[in-house]
Amino acid sequence: MKELFTLYYHRRILFTDFFSQSPLILSLYGLVVSFPIPIILALMLNSFRHKRYRKVIQTVTYAPNFISTVVMCGMIILFLSPSVGVINHVLEAIGIPAVNFMAKKAYWRHIYVWTGVWQSTGWSSVIYFAALAGISPELHEAAKVDGATKLQLIRHIDLPLIMPTATILLIMNCGSILSVGFEKAFLLQNNLNASVSEIISTYVYKVGLINNDMSYSSAIGLFNTIVNMVMLIIVNTISDKLSGNSLW
């Protein structure tokens, strides 16, 4: 009995330390960075006069979304390679020594989040373009007659009218705050950055399939689901009280 209690205690401490370090920080970092950028992109392109150039920019920003995760991770590792990477060649050209980015724990979260922003921003902005397309042109015309600038149009017309859409998407993102993608984290993970790159899904994979401890990995997965559900309810309640926009 004492041995079982000791095993449970050490497992609980291990998982608590793991949960408090990498996944939550990575999830919050990703949410704070990746959520507003598609809104900004949609608002900027919506106010762009030249439709042909706007379509070109939209196509360029959409394209990375169709790159598979494996290819994306291969590109990241290749670009950041200390020997053949383009980034390090640029650094060396300006007199900065080459850096092994994938071996530095301080860089891993930034690499993961910002490459994700590059890959998903264009596609995530589609829904905001749809919301902006539903705004009556008469509102813009009336505001222009009153002397409103582009920034004033965005601030007082576009942004308030897409806020309900943005609020719903924020609630849904908070409902999956701990569900960080397994494939990308696993492919970018190595022994040198494992202390920051270990997330819930990779941890469950290693515990359940590699260590063959299915009951413990199932408990972790259930705990992850419960945390996501609680976050969804809390954020939905707060949004309903503050803005009147909610999922239910």
Rounded Cα gap, residues 118 and 125, in angstroms? 12
Q: What pLDDT does residue 49 have?
A: 77
Q: Nearest CA to 121 among 44, 64, 54, 47? A: 64
Q: What pLDDT does residue 191 have?
A: 87
Are residues 11 and 216 in contact, defined by beta-carbon separation less than 8 angstroms? yes
Q: What pLDDT does residue 19 have?
A: 47
For residues 191, 105, 194, 76, the Cα torsion angle rounded to the nearest 10 degrees is: -80
Residue 211 has phi, psi (to 5 degrees) of: -90, -5
Has this prediction a pTM greater than 0.95?
no
Tokens 């696993």 locate to: 186
CB count within 10 Å of CB 226 equals: 10
Rounded Cα gap, residues 182 and 188, in angstroms? 10
Q: Nearest CA to 190 among 88, 131, 111? A: 111
Are residues 165 and 131 in contact, defined by beta-carbon separation less than 8 angstroms? yes
Rounded Cα gap, residues 65 and 193, in angstroms? 26
Chunked mean pLDDT (size 10), the chain, 248 residues: 43 47 78 92 86 86 91 93 90 90 90 93 90 88 87 89 90 83 88 86 86 84 86 89 82
Tokens 């910002």 locate to: 114
Rg (CA), the chain: 22
